[in-house]
Amino acid sequence: MATARGLRHLLTCSRWRRGRGEAPQSRALAAVVPGVSQVDNNSDFLGKRPHRRHPGILHLPCVEVPPALAAAAQSLLLESSMPNVEKQVQALTNYLWSRRLPVEPEELQRRAVHLEEKFLENPDLFQVEEKLREAVLRALRKTTYHWQELSYNESLSLVYMAARLDGGFAAVSRAFHEIRARVPEFQPQTLMDFGSGTGSVTWAAHSAWGQSLREYMCVDSSAAMLVLAEKLLKGGSESGEPYVPGVFFRRFLPVSPKVQFDVVVSAFSLSELPSKADRTELVQTLWRKTSHFLILVENGTKAGHCLLMDARDLVLKCPHELPCPQLTASKPLACSFSQAYHCIPFSWNKKKQKEEKFSMVILARGSPEEANRWPRITQPVLKRPRHVHCHLCCPDGHMQHAVITARQHGRDLYRCARVSSWGDLLPVITPSESELPLSPAEDPLGVDKEA
């Protein structure tokens, strides 16, 4: 495990301070405190760029899978002659999105003890111990989520490809774009994808860093998935030339502790593990295999968010990395991003575009240069006449609901906020503690973004 000083997020969350001052009119950084903004006169965040291209913009335009991948997927699905594909795709999509975490044995035991104590409040009904045990088991079956491991055979792998190939590609492309935008000099040579499935990570990585990547290691426990991913690389056949060179497939992680990769990705795979102990062991192993960046992606649900926060806390065991404020909110919402993408034109896809909602954490090893401390926009920006509503996750681990106007905060900041989107950084700073008193966040609404 890396030391506390050696670990940094690309983005950390923070809390707002409040103070007194006047609204800035210069093109510099300001603190979003209604009516009392301050200016960092040493910073010129816009330079000569227009507002619509300010340095906090990180969102991607609508993503489209490579034509070769879309054609191969359509070809494989036509060759399979699978009946009722549309119904199977919809059923699997709904199941994966609604999937919750498996109940841990300790939690199951706690629930059983609680039910037993509740039943014993009326001893006349359960004079025999066997009847009491049966009543507890019946109650547990009714109230406990029954998690099941998915076994991806050939047919289920094809259904998964049809359901998740384009959406998964969009989510991972957004994660790679975050690194490229904030660390443009990073040029990885090796990548490992754990739980590679249909290989969407490989295609997205090739689109992002195809000129520098020379090795892609795809690891998946399902032999059928690996065969399908290899066929997609070869245009839907078993004998064609692979579209992406240097791709290797295996069913198990490399054993040697000396084997590391510049980028390690686990996309929608932590949720496939049956226990917290298994997830802990996997995250520790993936971190040991990481030489630069570890990228974890899950569904943009409460379950997916909790998985990523557990993994983040496991790696970042250091006091300067603050806990996710979403976990302590009175009304928790899933921490998520949204990425638009063009659908693969399967016969049942009536919409040309869809939105992929996902959560992600990007962890960096080493001591990168100090990243900016700008807050993340955590919900869609609400644009109203002469003012903009932004829900922000700030660098000291708290949420802020900022209402930004040109009159109070300056024309530049107002226009930057108006052209920003969900997932972007808002180019503002917090006044120093020595100048202003502390103040709690005014509005806990919003969701955290970890990157």
Lowest-confidence region among 114-118, 123-127, 376-380: 123-127
Q: Which tokens belong to 188?
A: 């990885």
| SS3 label, residue 313 | helix
One domain, residues 160 and 117: no
* 260-264 average pLDDT score: 97
Residues 199 and 228 occupy one common structural domain = yes
Tens digits of residue pLDDT in 169-223? 999 999 999 999 989 999 999 999 999 999 999 999 999 999 999 999 999 999 9
Domain end: 318, 347, 364, which one? 364
Average pLDDT of the segment spanning 48-59: 82
Share of the chain above pLDDT 70, in %: 79
User: Which of 35-49, 73-87, 125-139, 369-383 ranks highest by mean pLDDT?
Assistant: 73-87
Residue 16 lies in a domain: no
Cα Rg of the chain, angstroms: 24
> Which pLDDT belongs to residue 392?
86
For position 321, what pLDDT does the model report? 60
- Per residue in 301-310, pLDDT (tens digit) is 989 999 999 9
Which tops the pLDDT comparison, 439 or 225?
225
Question: Which residue is it, tokens 């706690």?
Answer: 110
Q: For position 122, what pLDDT does the model report?
A: 73
Neighbouring-strand partners of residue 376: 393, 425
pLDDT of residue 439: 32
Q: Is residue 341 part of a domain?
A: yes
In a domain, 12, yes or no: no
Same domain (yes/no): 359, 376: no
Read off φ and ψ for residue 209, nearest 5 degrees.
Answer: -130, 35
Is the domain of 387 the same as that of 251? no
Same domain, yes or no, for 267 and 173? yes
328 or 135, greater pLDDT: 135
pLDDT tops 70 at residue 16: no
Q: Is 430 or 409 the better-scoring residue by pLDDT? A: 409
Mean pLDDT of 371-383: 82
The confidence score (pLDDT) of residue 28 equals: 40
Which segment, 79-93, 106-120, 137-151, is predicted with the most confidence on average? 79-93
In the chain, the number of structural domains is 3
Task: Flag whether 90 is in a domain.
Answer: no
Shared-domain flag, residues 233 and 287: yes
Domain assignment of residue 1, yes or no: no
Q: In the prediction, which pLDDT does 363 show?
A: 92
Same domain, 359 and 378: no
Structure tokens of 426? 């808002």
Lowest mean pLDDT among 68-72, 168-172, 385-389, 447-451: 447-451
Boundary of a domain, candidates 364, 394, 415: 364
**Residue type for 51, please?**
H
Is a pLDDT exceeding 70 seen at residue 36? no
Q: Note the pLDDT of residue 329.
A: 63
Q: State residue 67's pLDDT score.
A: 96
Q: Is the pLDDT of residue 160 over 50?
A: yes
In a domain, residue 443? The reply is no
pLDDT for residue 248 is more than 50: yes
pLDDT at 397: 75
The pLDDT confidence band at residue 43, using thresholds 50, 70 and 90, is low
Query: Which domain range does residue 398 map to?
Result: 32-56+372-431
pLDDT digits (tens, 9 = 90+) for 216-245: 999 999 999 999 999 999 999 888 899 999
Work out the pLDDT band at 335, boundaries 50, 70, 90.
Answer: confident
Q: Which span out of 103-117, 153-167, 432-446 was modeled with the highest average pLDDT?
A: 153-167
Return the pLDDT at 427.
83
Q: Quote the pLDDT of residue 131.
A: 77
Residue 437 lies in a domain: no
Q: Are residues 291 and 392 both part of a single domain?
A: no
Determine the Cα–Cα distance for residues 201 and 219; give it in Å rounded to an integer.
Answer: 11
Band (263; pLDDT cuts 50, 70, 90)? very high
pLDDT, greater one: 198 or 3: 198
Residue position matching structure tokens 């080493």: 366
The stretch 251-270 carries a mean pLDDT of 94
How far is Cα 74 from Cα 55, in angstroms, rounded to an integer?
A: 39
The band of 58, judged by pLDDT with boundaries at 50, 70 and 90, is: confident
Q: What is the mean pLDDT of the chain?
A: 81
* 314 shares its domain with 411: no
Percent of the chain at pLDDT > 90 equals 46
Supply the DSSP symbol for 247.
Answer: E
Is 95 contained in some domain?
no
Q: Are residues 126 and 167 in the same domain?
A: no
**Torsion angle (degrees, nearest 10) of CA 181, 187, 190, 193:** 10
**Per-residue pLDDT at 27 exceeds 60:** no
pLDDT of residue 68: 96
Are 400 and 441 a contacting pair, CB within 8 Å? yes
* The last residue of a domain, from among 330, 364, 398: 364
Q: Looking at the predicted structure, is the pLDDT value of residue 64 above 70? A: yes
Same structural domain, 330 and 425: no
Of 290 and 398, the structure prediction assigns the larger pLDDT to 290
Looking at the predicted structure, is the pLDDT value of residue 431 above 50? no
CA distance 306 to 334: 9
Give the C-alpha separation, 84 to 92, whole Å: 12
Specify whether 248 is located in the same domain as 381.
no
pLDDT tier at 341 (50, 70, 90 boundaries)? very high
